[in-house]
């Protein structure tokens, strides 16, 4: 990276990604809702939710478990950025696994980086 400010943006976005997992796994939805832009979108299971309140309402009904996310690929372009990150989700009840990746768009607001869009792409095992 030629521009050290971009490196700081990447670190700030990595912190955003960590907050997504930690607050969600701790079921701290009040704090978790603050990571979204006001018009942010979450795409999951063929549905799209918009805004922190709607996203949080749906995700608060999701299975409890542990998110383990890989090192993200992040491309910064001024006040916007995109990213890809793989993940494993381990269900708390029964330890079932879900694997996939996140396809993200981020936006820098006055108080830092937020999710503009997060698409959850699940990878399914081939049927025998």
**Where residue 63 sits, what CATH number does that domain have?**
3.10.450.50
Q: What is the pLDDT of residue 1?
A: 46
The whole-number average pLDDT for the span 116-120 is 98
Question: Into how many domains does the chain fold?
Answer: 1
Per-residue exposure over 11-45, b if at least 16 CB sit within 10 Å of its own CB, e if not = ebbbebbeebbebbbeeeeeebbebbbeebbbebe
Cα–Cα distance for residue pair 63/86, rounded to 1 Å: 19
Q: What is the pLDDT of residue 63?
A: 86
Is 98 among the domain residues? yes
Q: Is it the case that residue 4 has pLDDT exceeding 60?
A: yes
What confidence tens digit (pLDDT) does each residue in 24-36 have? 999 999 999 999 9
Q: What is the pLDDT of residue 123?
A: 93
Give yes or no for a contact between 41 and 117, defined as CB atoms under 8 angstroms apart.
yes
Give yes or no for a contact between 101 and 84, defined as CB atoms under 8 angstroms apart.
yes
What confidence tens digit (pLDDT) does each residue in 20-67 have? 999 999 999 999 999 999 999 999 989 999 999 999 999 999 889 999
Is 128 among the domain residues? no
Q: Is it the case that residue 121 has pLDDT exceeding 90?
A: yes
Domain limits for position 98: 4-123
């Amino acid at each position: 990276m030629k521009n050290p400010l971009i490196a700081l943006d990447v670190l700030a976005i990595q912190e955003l990604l960590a907050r997504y997992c930690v607050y969600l796994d701790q079921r701290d939805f009040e704090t978790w809702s603050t990571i979204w832009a006001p018009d942010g979108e979450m795409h999951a299971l063929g549905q799209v939710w918009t805004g922190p309140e709607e996203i949080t309402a749906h995700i608060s009904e999701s299975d409890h478990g542990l998110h383990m996310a890989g090192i993200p690929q992040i491309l910064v372009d001024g006040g916007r950025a995109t990213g890809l990150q793989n993940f494993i989700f381990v269900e708390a009840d029964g330890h079932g696994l879900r694997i996939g990746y996140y396809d993200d768009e981020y936006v820098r607001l006055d108080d830092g980086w937020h999710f503009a869009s997060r698409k959850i792409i699940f990878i399914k095992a081939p049927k025998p």
